[in-house]
Amino acid sequence: ASKRAGKGRCTWFNPAFDKSREAVRVMDEELRDALAKSEFALHYQPLVDAQSKEVVAVEALIRWNRSDGKSVGPNIFIPVAEETGLINAIGIWVVRKACEDALKWDGIKLSINISAAQLRNPEFPVQLGHILEDIGFPASRLELEVTETCLVLDPVVAERTLEVIRGFGVNVALDDFGTGYASIGFLRQFRFEKLKLDRSLVTRAESDAGSRAMMLSSITVARAMNMGITAEGVETQEQADMVRAAGCDQIQGWLYFKAMPAEEITRLLNKSGDDLLLSAEKRA
Ligand code: C2E
Ligand code: MG
Ligand code: MG
Ligand code: MG
């Protein structure tokens, strides 16, 4: 009771703040528990070649299947895990699990999302190197997705970490481009192997000339810097046609595939070329 009373002082001043702090604390405990009890799972969303529509990569996306039967999406719990630092342990679990799963998906790339706290953690590249070696996963098949916020918070450390990671032969993609303050100049400041255009930019580009111009000019800059370009969140045939015409090399979105469990990816990749195209087009 005295502990609550101590916190109460703050409640009078800023109830919303105290409440959210409490919510973070509770969820942090639940997440630690979830990690210990293996309640996390990875789903994988295929990325298809914009021209051939073949699956060329998969992106690992974490899910939390709670013991009460509810499934919680990463947008809810990743920010909490970032705030408390638990993302470091979760992130390492993701890397190991994803590389283990993807080991049998010969010939396609694996993309993994990395958050700001991980990029600031000097242990991260060391751990990553160990996992790749331990599992025998080829670094050249791995791509890490980072966002602008990962890099602006502490650009010097982030850049150093990325250099170590690149030294392994791992590619780096800039995720969610078009959401934050993402400026075209930012593309020049860091080296990325790939640019991922956010779903919101793709959507806006359809109806708004300014957004379309921004999409096209970022594609031009990315091209000039030898970056690959992926359009995210493509849901309609019109959007697919637009981003293909704009020069995107890869398309990711529900038009083609949603994220699915590892076994379904294995089944998908075992289909012959024609069957695979068919399953992509059926969704189109
Ligand atoms: P993201 O990396 O930009 O991933 C793409 C998100 O868009 C995924 O949501 C995916 O399911 C969703 N998406 C894909 N295609 C479509 C589409 O056509 N329409 C719509 N409406 N949505 C689509 P998800 O799985 O909920 O993940 C949300 C975010 O959580 C990710 O955004 C990423 O930032 C973060 N995240 C996911 N897994 C991890 C992880 O293992 N570690 C870290 N640090 N972050 C993760
Ligand atoms: Mg991503
Ligand atoms: Mg994204
Ligand atoms: Mg996102």
7 alpha carbon – ligand 3 mean position (Å): 37
Residue type, 220: T
DSSP symbols for the chain:
-HHHHHHHHHHHH-HHHHHHHHHHHHHHHHHHHHHHTT-EEEEEEEEEETTT--EEEEEEEEEEE-TTS-EE-HHHHHHHHHHHSTHHHHHHHHHHHHHHHHTTSTTSEEEEE--HHHHH-THHHHHHHHHHHHHT--GGGEEEEE-HHHHHSSHHHHHHHHHHHHHHT-EEEEEEETTSS--HHHHHHS--SEEEE-HHHHHHHHH-HHHHHHHHHHHHHHHHTT-EEEE----SHHHHHHHHHHT-SEE-STTT---EEHHHHHHHHHS-HHHHHHHHHHT-
| Alpha carbon nearest to ligand 1 atom 25, residue | 61
Pocket lined around ligand 1, Cβ cut-off 6 Å: 45, 60-62, 73-75, 78, 91, 94, 113-115, 145, 175-176, 199, 232-235, 252-254, 259
Confidence of residue 4 (pLDDT cuts 50, 70, 90): very low
pTM above 0.90, yes or no: yes
pLDDT at 248 over 80: yes
Q: Which ipTM score applies to this complex?
A: 0.98
Evaluate whether 214 touches 178 at the Cβ level (below 8 Å).
yes
Amino acid at the residue 87: I
Task: Tell me the C-alpha distance between 284 and 271, whole Å.
Answer: 18
Out of 44, 96, 113, give the residue to mutate to test ligand 1, the one with the largest number of ligand atoms within 8 Å of its CB.
113
Q: What is the pLDDT of residue 1?
A: 36
Mean pLDDT of 101-107: 96
Nearest residue CA, atom 23 of ligand 1?
233
Looking at residue 6, what is its pLDDT? Answer: 44
Question: 176 C-alpha to center of ligand 4: Å?
Answer: 5
Question: For residue 81, what pLDDT is reported?
Answer: 96
